[in-house]
Chain A
């Protein structure tokens, strides 16, 4: 099973601040997918194939990485970005999610 380790577990950012979240895989994966979950809502796809922006997602979000190291960047934090962010790998089953990063607004 591929384990995805996300860091930090929790962080707070000020409006306008650049934010970088990390997802490390225990084995090399082909791509990473990023999801945003607010409060008790369903997760929402943000980034697919590591760096492609999902439809309707603001372009302040971007993804990068390869092999075992991936990141999600928010170029300029906004209040509406406060949420939990999960990475996901679909390279091998069981498909696995990271444990999440909780991002708060300062």
Chain B
């Protein structure tokens, strides 16, 4: 059964670094791409970046200087790190798989609040 689950701190202080983990099950990260998407409260979806099955990455240019996505295929985990967080980075962060169709499975999301 395909599953993705995000985990990480619910609260991050301004200017600090956010670290999130997406733990997957039911498929191999060597065969499928995983995206990160975020959604500020009451707002729409923003694509952040992707790690391809090959290990290559592509980032949203608006976030590129702050964002890093990596993975540990042996642990079935994908990692997101974003530095210099500001209040506007408060959002629910999702990981999603590119399967037989794009973004066919999503995690439940993790809410991150940036506040002192």
Q: Chain A interface (Cβ within 8 Å of chain B)?
A: 1, 33, 35, 40, 42-45, 48-49, 52, 54, 86, 88, 90, 93-100
Contact = CB atoms under 8 A, between A and B. Distances in A.
Interface in B61-116: 61-62, 92, 94, 96, 101-104, 106-109
Nearest to A45: B104
Contacts of A94: 47, 60-62
Given A1-B61, A42-B109, A97-B45, 10 more contacts: A33-B102, A42-B106, A42-B108, A43-B103, A45-B104, A48-B101, A86-B44, A93-B61, A97-B46, A97-B47
Q: Assign chain B's interface to a size class.
A: 20 to 34
B44 A93 contact: no
- Nearest 9 A-B pairs (CB), nearest first? A42-B106, A48-B101, A94-B60, A97-B45, A95-B47, A99-B44, A100-B44, A45-B104, A93-B58
- Interface SS of A by simple majority: loop
Among B35, B47, B61, max chain A CB count under 10 A is at: B47
B107 A42 contact: yes
Given A94-B60, A94-B62, A45 B103 contact: yes
Nearest to A47: B101
23 contacts: A33-B103, A42-B94, A42-B106, A42-B108, A42-B109, A45-B101, A45-B102, A45-B103, A54-B101, A86-B44, A88-B47, A90-B102, A93-B58, A93-B60, A94-B47, A94-B60, A94-B62, A95-B35, A95-B47, A96-B47, A97-B44, A99-B44, A100-B44
A90 B35 CA distance: 12
A21 to B, nearest CB: 14
A68 B94 CA distance: 27
Contact of B45 (A43, A45, A52): A43
